[in-house]
Amino acid sequence: MKIGFIGLGIMGMPMAANLVQAGHDLVTCDRQPKTIDGARAVAAPMDAARDRDVVISMLPDTPDVNDVLFGSGAAAGAMHAGTVYIDMSTVSPVATMDFARRLSVQGVAMLDAPVSGGDLGARKGTLSIMVGGSKEAFDHCLPLFQAMGSNIVYAGESGSGQKMKLVNQAVGALNLLAAVEGLRLASASGLDLETVLSAVSAGAAGSWMWSNLGSKIVAGDFSAGFMIRLQQKDLRLAREFFEQLGLDAPGTALTYELFTQALEKGLGLDGNQALYRLWE
């Protein structure tokens, strides 16, 4: 397919490379000069959206998607009727439904398709992808999702992918806090941390966060995979989503507060496992 891909960051770069690898014709755009072998780079989002069957974005936050589509990027205006637009960023479900409604007026179907699995999953093409929007557009784009991920879930109508992703983020952040707290206790009590890692991962308290980020913490590796500032953004979105539904969310309120403190401490560009350093 002819694809425009906007946002070549930690995630977007390997995801776009996997689409090239699968034989698709890619035009890419990032506000920093970045290129991918086998793809043509353009400077403006509107040029990545023109004459494409599918346009994909992988951007940090809701205002970035709005700016690329309807603001200075002007990508929406360059899409023709019949184009499918897929936003794979993690952004507000409410804003997503509004973007989809505005694009539908010009005959563009939008899928919201946020991902989970980190930079490693993006590189290996094993992401989990949660997709909202029309089933027809989903079926049409399934080969693209299969080039980037291995667990593709159709979540339901527009916004459902983002809603599912926020559930994922609320659960993931609480698991990470649990791992951080456990490792602080283990460290302060003089236990051998490698032994603690393998003992806990084999039992009922094991988790993806414990196994993957716990081992990075023990190794002193606080580089990003998933940046503190993006984790804090997702918890803000999750908190807003709980509030919109009138639900109490003490765990999400706590993790949001702690990640906000981590941001204020200057850890925003570190990986989310650097939550551990909040207490250093």
* Interface residues toward ligand NAD, by CB under 6 A: 6-12, 29-32, 45, 58-60, 64, 67-68, 73, 89-90, 115-116, 118-119, 225-226, 230, 234
Residue closer to ligand NAD by CB (options 83, 116) is 116
End-to-end CA distance of the chain: 50
| Apex 156 CA angle, 153 and 161, nearest 5 | 60
Question: Which residues are CB-contacts of 84 (< 8 A; sequence separation ≥ 6)?
Answer: 53, 54, 55, 108, 109, 110, 111, 137, 140, 141
| Active-site residue flag, 165 | yes
Give the residue nearest to ligand NAD (CB).
9
Question: Given CA atoms 15, 17, 20, 26 in this order, what sign does their dihedral have?
Answer: positive
The answer to whether residues 65 and 87 touch, using CB atoms and an 8 Å cutoff, is yes
Q: In the complex, what is the shortest distance from the CB of residue 104 to ligand NAD, in angstroms, rounded to a whole number?
A: 23
Please report where in the chains the tokens 């560009």 appear, as a residue: 269
Please give the structure tokens belonging to residue 272. Answer: 């989310």
- Using alpha carbons, list the distances in angstroms from residue 87 to 62, 130, 239, 247, 255: 10, 11, 21, 27, 26
Q: In the complex, what is the shortest distance from the CB of residue 24 to ligand NAD, in angstroms, rounded to a whole number?
A: 19
| Apex 200 CA angle, 197 and 205, nearest 5 | 135
Catalytic residue among 2, 165, 233, 265: 165
CA atoms within 13 A on the CB side of 13: 13
* Nearest-angstrom CA–CA distance, 47 and 41: 9
Return the active site residues.
165
